[in-house]
Amino acid sequence: MKFLEDPPRFLFFTGKGGVGKTSVACATAIDLADRGRRVLLVSTDPASNIGQVFGLTIGNTVTPIAAISGLSALEIDPEQAADAYRERIIAPVRGLLPERELASIAEGLSGSCTTEVASFDEFTNLLTDDSLLATYDHIVFDTAPTGHTIRLLQLPGSWTEFLDAGKGDPSCLGPLSGLDKHKTVYAAAVAALADPERTRLVLVARAQASALSEIDRTFGELAQIGIRGGFVVINGVLPLAAGTESIAAAVRHRELAALEGIPTSLAALPRDVLELKAGNMMGVDALRTLFQAEGESASKPQLPVVVPEAPLGRFVDELEPAGHGLILCMGKGGVGKTTIAAALAVALAQRGHAVHLTTTDPAAHLVETLHGSVAGLRVSRIDPEQAIREYRDHVMATKGKNLDDDGRAALTEDLLSPCTDEVAVFRQFSKAVHESRHEFVVVDTAPTGHTLLLLDATGSYHREISRQMGESMAFVTPLMRLQDPALTKVLLVTLAETTPVLEAEGLQHDLQRAGIQPWGWVVNNSIAAAHPETPFLQARAASEATQIDAVFARADRVAIVPLLAEEPIGVDKLAALTARTPQPV
C-alpha cells in the first residue's frame, strides 16, 4: 500500500459516509501495530463504530485492544463533546435570560459546526500533548476536520466581540465562544496538520462519481489552509471473484467509468485500490484481509438471503389518494435520493396527477436521470450557488457593513458554512412547500431539522415570507406545513450498510426534534433484493441482512429497491422501480 510506506506520526482518513473510512483506518492501525509500533486509533466520526468493529466497548477513554499488542483506541463522542460545549456557553446566562431565548441559543449550537468544533477542541490535545506523543509512535484518526472548521479557528480578532456585534442571524461562529484553549494551542495543532513530515492525509472513496467528488472537494478545502499532501484509497472495488453475472458486470462498468472520470487534482495523487470483500470488516481477522486481494475460492456457496417484500410501488399506492402533497427525499450523498425522487414523481404523473419535481442538490442531474418527459410532470432546480451568492452578498452589505477588517473576515468565513447554504436556499424551498397544497411536489434533498429549528428560533424565515407575501396577508409558516403529516411525507433514503443507516437514523432524530416524523425509509441498491447467484455476491447479500433488520426496527414503513444490472436512467426504467415487483432491466 502506497499510503503505508514510511508513515508519519499522524494519519488522517477522510471521505463521505459509507465508503469504508473506519475499516481502512482500523486495518491501518493493525498493520502498524503488527510492525511493532505503538499505535493509538482515534475516531471523531459521529457515526463511529470502531468499538463494534473490534467487538468491544471503547468510548471516550484510551482502551487497549487486547488482541493486538501495542494498539489502543479512543472514541471522541461528538455528541457528548457538543453537549458539554453548549452547557459551557449557556450556563452563565441561565436564569438571566427567558427560556425562549435560551432555547434559541441552544438550537443555534445544535448544528454540525458545533459538533465538529467541539470535537476538534477535544483532539487538539492529541496533536499537541507531549506526554501522549511520547507514548505512541503513530496516531491514526478516523475522520479529519474540515477545512471550514480549521479556517474558523484561524480567524483573526476576538470571536466574542464579533458575536456580540453580530447577534440576530443564524451563525456557525456561536460554537467558537465556548473554546477555552488559547489560540496558540490551535495554531500548533493546525501546524502539525499542515506538516507532511508529521501528518498524512488519506482520502478514502468508492469508485463512484459522488464519492470521488466529495474527496476532491475536501482536498481542495484543506489545501486552502496548507494541508496539501495526500493519498487516495479507492475502497470496495468489485473483484473478479464476484463472477460474471449481469449485476457484477454492470457494477464493474460503472466503477471503471467513475475511475476514468476521476477529478484531475486526485488523479495526480498516489493511489491504492482495495477490493470489496465478501463479508463485513468486523473483527481483527477480517481487518487483516482488507489489504489483500480477494482469492477465487474465498467465497463459499451461501444459502439465498430472503428479504421482506417491500416494493417502492406500495409507497405510491399510499401517497396517491391525497391528490397533492409534499414528498421530501432526504439522506446522505451517494445513496440515490435523485433516483428515488424521480421514480416517485414519474409514477404519480403517470397516474394522472400534476407533479413538480425539484432538487436543492447541487450535484443532482434530474434531467439526465429522467432522459425524457412525462405528461403532467414539470422539473426544476433550485440553484443553490445563486441562492448562496445572493444571500452572502446581502449579509455582507447589511450585517457586515460597519464591521472592521477582522469582523468582516469572521463573517465571510461564517458564510462559507454548510449551515449557511441551507439557510440560503430556504427561501426558494418555501415556495415549493406552498405549491404542495394544490399538486404533488417531490423534492430531492431538503433542509435538515436543525436548519428548520434554527430559522424558526431566529424568525428569519418569518420575516422573509412576510416580505414576499405582503405584511397585510396572513400566512402559515413552512415549518408548520412540514410538521403536518397529512401534507408532508419525508422519505429517508439509505443503503443497507452500517454508516448510511446510522447517518439516516441521526437525520431522523434531527427531524423529530423539529416535530417532523419521517413517513418512511427506502433501502436503495440492495444486493440481497437482487437475488444474486454467485457465492461472492450472496455473501455480500447476507451482510446486508442485519442493516435491513435495523431499518425495519426504526421505520414506520420500508421500501427496498434492488441493485439493477442497468442504472435506472430514463422514464421507462424509473417507472419499473415502482412496479409491484421491479425487475432488473
Which member of 31, 45, 142, 444 is catalytic? 45
Which member of 23, 420, 445, 458 is catalytic? 23
- C-alpha cell recorded at residue 254: 460503472
- 573 catalytic residue (yes or no): no
Which member of 499, 526, 543, 578 is catalytic? 499
Which member of 15, 17, 20, 313 is catalytic? 20
- C-alpha cell recorded at residue 165: 456585534
462 SS3 class: helix
Within 280-320, residue ranges assigned H as helices are 284-287, 313-319
Residue 260: HSE in the Cβ half-sphere, 13 Å Cα cutoff = 6
- 313 catalytic residue (yes or no): no
Instruction: Find the Cα–Cα–Cα–Cα dihedral 250, 281, 500, 348, rounded to 10°.
Output: 30
Non-local CB neighbours of 19 within 8 Å, separated by 6+ positions: 204, 205, 206, 211, 235, 236
Non-local CB neighbours of 155 within 8 Å, separated by 6+ positions: 176, 406, 409, 410, 413
C-alpha–C-alpha distance, residues 117 and 120, integer Å: 5
Which member of 21, 277, 332, 399 is catalytic? 21
3-state SS string over 504-546? HHHHHHHHHHCCCCCCEEEEEEECHHHCCCCHHHHHHHHHHHH
CA distances from 401 to 172, 394, 404, 424, 511 (A): 19, 10, 9, 19, 35
What is the secondary structure of 337-386 as a DSSP string? HHHHHHHHHHHHHHTT--EEEEE--TT--HHHHH-S--TTEEEEE--HHH
- 20 catalytic residue (yes or no): yes
- 499 catalytic residue (yes or no): yes
Q: Are 76 and 42 in contact (CB under 8 A)?
A: yes
- Sign, Cα dihedral of 241, 243, 247, 250: positive
- 23 catalytic residue (yes or no): yes
- C-alpha cell recorded at residue 471: 405584511
237 SS3 class: strand
Which member of 15, 16, 17, 18 is catalytic? 18
Closest CA to 383 of 411, 362, 399, 403: 362
Helices then strands, each counted (H, E), the chain: 25, 15
Which member of 14, 15, 17, 22 is catalytic? 22
Q: Are 240 and 296 in contact (CB under 8 A)?
A: yes
Catalytic residue annotation = 18, 20-23, 45, 499
